[in-house]
Amino acid sequence: MRQRARFFSFILLVASGAASQCAQAANLTVNCDKKETIHKAVKLLATANPQGPNTITVSGSCRENIAIRSMDRLTLITTNGASITDRSNGSLAVVDIEDSHSVTLQGFTINGSTVLCRTASVCYLTGNTIQGGGGVEVGGGSRAFLESNVLQNGGRGATVENGSQMSSSNDVFQGNGPGVVLEGAYFVASNSSFLNNAAGIFAATSNLLLHGGTISGSIGNGMTMLAGSTVVFRDGATVIGNGGDGVHLEDASFAGFQSATVTGNLSGLDVNCAPQFTITHFVGRTGGITNCVEPASKSQLKTLE
C-alpha cells in the first residue's frame, strides 16, 4: 500500500512539474476508493504549478477536508458522481477556497460541512449537491457563480457577506433553515428556486436582482428585507404559498416589481411594508394583498422608465 501511495505521488509530481515547465494544463486523476486523496493532489499542484491551469478528475467516495489557497485556474470535476464527505465532524469546511481565482467544483455530492469561498476568491460551483452542513459561504469580497446545484442543509443554504457577490442560475435551495442569508452583499438569481425552507431569503444592507424563479413553501416569510436592502423582481418571478409574508420590508428597504406574482401567502399580506420608511414600486402589479402605499400614478404605469 505504501509503495502504491509513493508511486501515485511521484506520478502527480512529474505530471504537474511538466505542466508548469511547459505552461500546459496538468490533467490528473484521483480515485478515492483506492485510498488516493484530492488533498494530496491539490498540495502537489500548489507546489509545482499554482497558477494552473490544472484539472483533477475524481472518482469514488472521498472522506476528507480540502484546502485550496493561492491557486488559480483549478478544476475539480467528477464524471461519475463522486462524493466528498467531511471527516472533521464539522470543525473544518469540506472545501475551503482562499485567495484563489477561477476555481471550479463540478458534479460532486458534498456531505456534512461547508464549502467556503473567501479572501477575494472567484469560485464556480456547477451541478453539485451540497447537503447536511452549512451550505456555501462567500465572504471577504469574493465572487461565487452557482449553476444547477441543489443546496439542502439543516442550516443555511448559502451565506453571502462582507462585500461579496453571488450569482445563482437554475439552482434549487430546499429544506434549509434560511435558503440564502445576505449581509452587506450583492445577489443575482436567474430561474433559481427557494423551496420549503424555514425562510426563503433574508437580506440586510444588501442588493438583490431576481430574474424569474420561485420562492414558495417557507415556514416564515418568503423574503425578508432589512436595513436599507433593495430588491428588484423581473421576468415573472413568483413568491407564493409561504407561511408568513411573501415579501417583508423594514427600515428603509425597497422592493421594485417590474414583473412578479406575489400572492397566496398566509400571513394576510403578500407584500408587507413594516415600519419604517419602506418603499415599493409597481406593487400593484403583483396581484397580491399589500399595505404598501405609493402614488397611484406610479403603480399604474405600464413600463418602467
Cβ atoms of residues 129 and 105 within 8 Å = no
Confidence of residue 154 (pLDDT cuts 50, 70, 90): confident
Range of lowest pLDDT (59-63, 71-75, 92-96, 272-276): 272-276
Distance CA 40, CA 279 (A): 53
At residue 136, the pLDDT reads 98
Q: Residue 62's beta-bridge partner residues?
A: 84
Q: What CATH number is given to the structural domain containing 162?
A: 2.160.20.10
What integer pLDDT is reported at residue 28 of this predicted model?
97
Q: Counting beta carbons within 10 angstroms of the beta carbon of residue 80, is it exposed (0 to 12), middle (13 to 18) or buried (19 or more)? A: exposed
- Backbone conformation region of residue 86, classed left if phi is above 0, alpha if psi is from -120 to 50, else beta: beta
Q: pLDDT band at 293, cuts 50/70/90?
A: confident
| All three cell numbers of 29 | 486523476
d(CA 85, CA 95): 10
Single-letter residue type at 186: Y
Does residue 19 register a pLDDT over 90?
no
**C-beta atoms surrounding 300 within 10 Å:** 10
More confident residue, 3 or 204: 204
Q: Mind listing the pLDDT tens digit for each residue in 132-141?
A: 999 999 999 9
**Segment 64-68 mean pLDDT:** 98
As a whole number of angstroms, the distance between CA 157 and CA 149 comes to 11
Residue 181 lies in a domain: yes
What pLDDT does 296 receive? 58
Which cell numbers in the block locate residue 221? 416569510
Question: For residue 37, which amino acid is it?
Answer: T
Residue 165 lies in a domain: yes
Identity of residue 14: V
Is 179 a domain residue? Answer: yes
Look at residue 124 and tell me whether its pLDDT is greater than 80.
Answer: yes
Answer yes or no: is pLDDT of 3 > 70: no
Q: What is the pLDDT of residue 21?
A: 47
For all residues of the chain together, what is the average pLDDT? 91
Closest to 206 measured CA to CA, from 184, 233, 181: 184
Domain count, the chain: 1
Q: pTM here?
A: 0.88
The answer to whether residue 11 sits within a structural domain is no
Give yes or no for residue 7 having a pLDDT over 50. no
DSSP secondary structure letters along the chain: -HHHHHHHHHHHHHHHHHHHHHT--EEEEEEGGGT--HHHHHHHHHHH-TT--EEEEEESEEE--EEEES-EEEEEE-SS--EEE-SSTTSS-SEEEES-EEEEEES-EEESSEEEEESS-EEEEES-EEESS-EEEE-SS-EEEEES-EEE-SS-SEEEETT-EEEEES-EEES-SEEEEEES-EEEEES-EEES-SEEEEEES-EEEEES-EEE--SS-SEEEESS-EEEEETTEEEES-SS-SEEE-SS-EEEESSEEEE--TTS-SEEE-SSS-EEESGGGS-S-B-----HHHHT-SS--
- Average the pLDDT over 99-124 and give the result: 98
Backbone angles phi, psi at 18, to 5 degrees: -65, -40
Is residue 205 pLDDT above 80, yes or no? yes
| Residue at 243 is within a domain | yes
In a domain, 14, yes or no: no
Residue 4 has pLDDT above 70, yes or no: no
Is the pLDDT at 20 greater than 80, yes or no?
no
Q: Say whether pLDDT at 121 is over 70.
A: yes
- The answer to whether position 216 is within a domain reads yes
pLDDT in tens, 38-53: 999 999 999 999 999 9
Task: Tell me which residue of 107, 144, 115, 145 sits closest to 132, measured CA to CA.
Answer: 115
Q: Give phi and psi for 118, each to the nearest 5.
A: -140, 175
Let me know if residue 10 belongs to a domain. Answer: no
Q: What percent of the chain has pLDDT over 90?
A: 84
Residue 144 φ then ψ, to 5°: -125, 135
Q: Is the pLDDT of residue 36 over 60?
A: yes
Domain of residue 286 covers 28-33+52-299
